[in-house]
Amino acid sequence: MNVAIIGCGGIARAHAECVREFEEDHLVAVADIDREAAERFAAQWGGKPFPTVENLLAETLPDAAIVCTPPNTHRAVVSALLTAGVPVLCEKPLAHIVRDAEALADLAGETGLPAYVAYCHRFNPAARLMRDYVGQGRTGRVHTFRNAFIGFAPHLTTAWRTEPDISGGGCLMDNGSHSVDLQQFILGPIADVYASLHFDGQGRGDVAADLLTISESGVAGLISVSYVSPKPEARFEIIGNEMALEYDYATSGATVTAYRPGHDPERLPLPAGCDVRFIEQYRAFREALQGRPTDLATFEDGLSVSRIIDRCQRQAGITGGIA
């Protein structure tokens, strides 16, 4: 498979590593508006460097593209690819504003091309185990989903991540979009949300947020995300009346801890730990292109996350993530 990567910054590396893992796959082209970034990236990972997605498409038609540009560019970049007939895996969030996410979901529907959002935590084997246990009724009635993606990353409070024109908000859009997708992946659609957003600077997006989400099935989700928490925490758990399941990114490794009444906590083995999420996501993308069923987030899934985050921002008295 001939693959292109658009946007040659931080996360592009993780995707290039995945392409390299498959002998049959070749990174044939990369694009970045920062020409030097494209050239450096191509020198390290392969492919011909281009300054824009349009230049790239004028010269080569890859079998698939991975979009790794900032959210405010996703609509233009992904539209160019889909219009040219190229299937897409687009980094999260689908877009920085709901209007763009809607336009992309519509375009994906019209073209019928494979188009997915890279909500990689779905491919943490722990998330899939929890989803399967819930589906099989092994947890009993699930009451609660708890998730934290919090840590101390003050540099992000002045980076594009908290520039609403680029990111669409701040930490909620960045980390929280993963959280909302994870809850929906494991426990089904969220029907309602109450949010508290925390800001640090005028005109900038949130640096932390706490959410209470209520899923259609009645599960309450308690989600905390932060760039400014001195206490790092990356974990999620579900609590059912017959079983609670917990995964901690720092300590669980390739296990999920199961709690059952009358039993000691039990470490359930996973095929691998959370580190495999990018490679498993890429494997799923390849399989989806071959027509196989997929757990990848569709553009409709991505749009639903964007709508939930927009609702949180409106509750905070803002639109488009601006303090």
Ligand X SMILES: NC(=O)c1ccc[n+]([C@@H]2O[C@H](COP(=O)([O-])OP(=O)(O)OC[C@H]3O[C@@H](n4cnc5c(N)ncnc54)[C@H](O)[C@@H]3O)[C@@H](O)[C@H]2O)c1
Residue nearest to ligand X (CB): 9
Any contact of residue 163 with ligand X (CB under 6 A)?
no
As given in the structure block, the two tokens for residue 217 are 């099935």
Residue among 252, 157, 264 at smallest CA distance from 201:
157
In contact, 97 and 320? CB cutoff 8 Å: yes
What's the CA gap between 31 and 73, in Å, rounded? 13
Residue among 280, 260, 283 at smallest CA distance from 270:
280
Q: Where are the beta strands (DSSP E) in 52-105?
A: 64-67, 88-91
Q: Which of 1, 2, 25, 37 binds ligand X (CB under 6 A)?
A: 37
Any contact of residue 288 with ligand X (CB under 6 A)?
no
Q: Which residues of 48-80 are buried (b: 16+ CB within 10 A; e: fewer)?
A: ebbebbeebbeeebbebbbbbbbbbbbbebbbb
Any contact of residue 9 with ligand X (CB under 6 A)?
yes
Q: Which of 31, 94, 142, 239 binds ligand X (CB under 6 A)?
A: 31
CB nearer ligand X, residue 37 or residue 214: 37
Any contact of residue 34 with ligand X (CB under 6 A)?
yes
Q: How far is the CB of 53 from ligand X (least distance, A)?
A: 6
Any contact of residue 77 with ligand X (CB under 6 A)?
yes
Q: Which of 73, 111, 184, 213 binds ligand X (CB under 6 A)?
A: 73
Q: Which of 49, 62, 71, 240 binds ligand X (CB under 6 A)?
A: 71
Any contact of residue 6 with ligand X (CB under 6 A)?
yes
As given in the structure block, the two tokens for residue 204 are 């900038």
Any contact of residue 120 with ligand X (CB under 6 A)?
yes
Any contact of residue 142 with ligand X (CB under 6 A)?
no
Any contact of residue 100 with ligand X (CB under 6 A)?
no
In contact, 246 and 186? CB cutoff 8 Å: no
112: left (phi over 0), alpha (psi -120 to 50) or beta: left
What's the CA gap between 54 and 58, in Å, rounded? 6
CB nearer ligand X, residue 182 or residue 219: 182
Q: How far is the CB of 175 from ligand X (least distance, A)?
A: 9
Site size for ligand X (CB under 6 A): 25
Q: Which of 18, 30, 79, 91 binds ligand X (CB under 6 A)?
A: 91
CB nearer ligand X, residue 68 or residue 129: 68
Q: How far is the CB of 97 from ligand X (least distance, A)?
A: 13
Q: Could you tell me the CA-to-CA distances from 108 to 84, 205, 239, 280 in Å, in that order?
A: 12, 29, 36, 23
Residues that bind ligand X (CB under 6 A): 6-12, 31-34, 37, 52-53, 68-71, 73, 77, 91-92, 118, 120, 174
